[in-house]
Structure 1
């Protein structure tokens, strides 16, 4: 099974969202549906970055690492350097 760490961006919120999943397409659809939670108020979330992992534990650790930065600038640098 493959796992993804991903970063979404909402232009209307001007915010990033970091998460992990084993099914990227389904997860993005769910993020863009009106629901409770951080991403639920908007439906303009776009994938701007992703990494692939073969182990769930690796994906969880990477997600935690990126979230721990708490820096929009550092996240933007990560996205820019991946291109």
Structure 2
């Protein structure tokens, strides 16, 4: 039997059980499946655009590439606000709330 001096080397090491692997997979999915509401801003248009997404960075990239009629009118969109939620329902409720905000309310939200 080889001497390992208490460290894992080329000797076989016990791997995670199927049950542990299942929990790890569920944790990964839980962490991965988050829902966001975000606000992007174009100084060129002086417009705030509010929306729901599962990936704010990808969604911003899509808008910068002309992903919607409104956002295709400018190329300077910046992510100015993002909030994460555990459920899609919560995120959609917040999106609806954000869409009702006027400009001054959005500025207050962004300031503080």
SS at match of 1:31: helix
Q: State which of 75, 79, 82 in structure 1 corresponds to 2:110.
A: 79
Tell me which residue corresponds to 2:28: none
**Paired positions, count:** 80
Corresponding residue for residue 85 of structure 2: 53
**1:31-74 CA distance string (max 9 Å, x none):** 001355111111110011111001001100000011112x1000
CA contact (8 A) 1:3 1:52 kept: yes
Contact 2:56 2:82 in 1 (8 A): no
Higher relative contact order (CA 8 A, sep 6+): 1
Structure 2: which 5+ residue stretches go unaligned?
A: 1-32
Structure with higher Rg: it is 2
Runs of 4 or more off by more than 3 Å in structure 1?
Answer: none
Q: Given the alignment of the two structures, is residue 32 of structure 1 paired with residue 27 of structure 2, yes or no?
A: no
The structure that is strand-richer by fraction is 1
